[in-house]
Chains A and B, each alone.
Chain A
């Protein structure tokens, strides 16, 4: 969305320059078109020039031959009126024009036409010179008058029009920009979702519906592929289960079979241990792939996390863990009754993975602490041990290196092991966040924070 706004701001500048160029172009085209006419109107045969030349070459008594020739070459007739309206002399005066004019006649034609000939007059000391141009060669504006105020307002008027036009243009541009951004927003977010490997489906009307259809199609293909991949993983892990049960079962029988020698029993114990690893792996793998492709339906319910932690810890202790490991429970009183909406099976799995991590990392034994605290309004679940911890390099590696489940690289140093990845996925499906703290040889601590705290009604009376 941001990139789109940037995109449009960038193009707004180009848009402004375009308008500027357009104005300049208009001026040039206008000038080019009317240059000829303007030079003609103010050139050799223009009324003003001819009037000046003719008056210079003539007087009340007559006109010189050169001036007469020049007038003839331009098809112009001329006459000179004395102050009393008598025609003193004339050049090519069209027939039908009188030789005597009253003061009213002069007043009328001096502004415009004399029998449809556009005429121009020059006031001389001895009389009035009248030039008549051919019919239809000039248009004379006879009846116009404008107030001074109007002329004064012209610059303001043009400036106003220009500003109004610019505003309208800008508004049209801005509205269309908003509309495009609005129309493309679902497209952009869908493409983003696709880029993140998530599936999406939406509908857009109008011109963009075709694009929307293509995106939906791509999403469907992606989701089909994800589904196929998750099903494939689930199928393989399903098919491994029964044979693995037998390997584990028979290995255990050998370890307790007195007919087998101690060496064989030891080997059977190794088979047992390794089979357990495969067991954990396929259990994690299936769930990880389902969470990764969002195919795990969450069975969320309101529960007390405190109860879940105790029930997990009791189960762990009841299943008989070696004496080298101790389990401490530390549930802050203000979190005891805090309800949280979560998938019990998944959260228990996350805690179990973290605890198993601590056990696996510390074969010599360690103290495991399960705590529940309220940290800055977040319900925080802490799984900590006092074991060997991680070196800073190892921790960095854990945080930075991509996991092979999430990478298409063929790098050899991708992170392996599904336990922590699964924990992170489970935490993310519950909108939580996860933080790892470790000090070499002092311990390893995972903090999982869930954002919402929902307080139940206060407890009932406590005496029974």
Chain B
């Protein structure tokens, strides 16, 4: 899941504040994004969106000739491009309205540039998966499309649950995923009392991917919280 692949995506910004447009463009450009387009009104945004076909929209809610929610509805009529709202409106109701429309994220100003970048990457990663479904770990590789672990020339198959578990962790590489989130991914909405089963699955995965399962370096336990997966670059 290389950053450079994500940075080729075209990002479109819509905000009526020229200084803010300039700044967000600069933040994205500094981090390596090459294709950035901008618009300041609802009308211009619809046109630019049709012409440029961006891969990600970052919308303000309050615009001079309308609001970001209605803009999103108009754009949704011809494209399913992911949308992030970046707005000064912090009411829970606004947030729900935005996410309810199907927006992928809702960031309230003032925001930290790093935070914006992280969320942009997260959404791009989710929406535009790289072709390859192979990750490299310490001492082995995991091929998700074939549900296999390759280690020392041997091929070890993953069970369905192990596959889901590893994939959930890989999608959040280097980040802690809570027990609750893992249980939900494995068993659905009501994961009471599944922690022991989760432990068992983690143990079996470690036997497949870790060089030394009792001293794991890839699939790490974060005590009391959850697990995280370290992926080799």
Contact = CB atoms under 8 A, between A and B. Distances in A.
A241 B108 contact: yes
A330 B197 contact: no
Interface stretch (A199-207, A220-228, A249-257, A410-418): A249-257
Nearest to A328: B224
B188 to A, nearest CB: 11
Given A253-B26, A318-B175, A245 B224 contact: no
Interface in B14-66: 17, 19-20, 23-24, 26-27, 30
Nearest to B15: A242
Contact of B224 (A256, A278, A279, A329): A329
A283 interface: yes
A464 B187 contact: yes
Contacts of A246: 17, 19-20, 23
Given A249-B23, A252-B113, A307-B180, A459 B92 contact: no
A249 B112 CA distance: 7
A460 B189 CA distance: 13
| A: contact size bracket | 35 or more
A314 interface: yes
A349 B112 CA distance: 18
Interface string A307-341: 10011011001100000000011110000010000
Interface in B94-120: 108-114
A68 to B, nearest CB: 117
Contacts, number: 111
B113 A248 contact: yes
Given A250-B23, A299-B92, A311-B178, A329 B223 contact: yes
A345 B92 contact: yes
Contact of B109 (A245, A306, A458): A245
Contacts of A244: 109-110
A297 interface: yes
B222 interface: yes
Interface in B206-233: 222-226
A238 B110 CA distance: 10
Contact of A460 (B20, B92, B193): B193
A456 interface: yes
Contact of A314 (B92, B197, B225): B225
Contacts of A456: 192
A459 B180 contact: no
B177 interface: yes
B225 A310 contact: yes
A350 to B, nearest CB: 15
Interface string A278-305: 1100110010000000000101000010
B79 to A, nearest CB: 27
A297 B112 CA distance: 27
A241 B110 contact: yes
A260 to B, nearest CB: 14
B196 A462 contact: yes
A250 B196 CA distance: 48
Given A244-B110, A249-B23, A459 B88 contact: no
B159 to A, nearest CB: 10
A300 to B, nearest CB: 12
Contacts of B192: 337, 456, 459-460
B112 A248 contact: yes
Contacts of B193: 337, 458-460, 462
A329 to B, nearest CB: 3
A313 B92 contact: no
A241 B178 contact: no
Given A318-B176, A456-B192, A464-B187, A252 B181 contact: no
Given A241-B88, A314-B178, 6 more contacts: A242-B17, A242-B109, A253-B30, A310-B179, A311-B181, A313-B225
The 7 tightest CB contacts between A and B, nearest first, are A459-B193, A329-B224, A241-B88, A241-B109, A244-B110, A314-B176, A245-B110
Interface of B: 17, 19-20, 23-24, 26-27, 30, 88-90, 92-93, 108-114, 161, 175-181, 187, 192-194, 196-197, 222-226
8 contacts: A245-B23, A246-B20, A248-B112, A249-B27, A310-B179, A317-B176, A460-B192, A463-B197
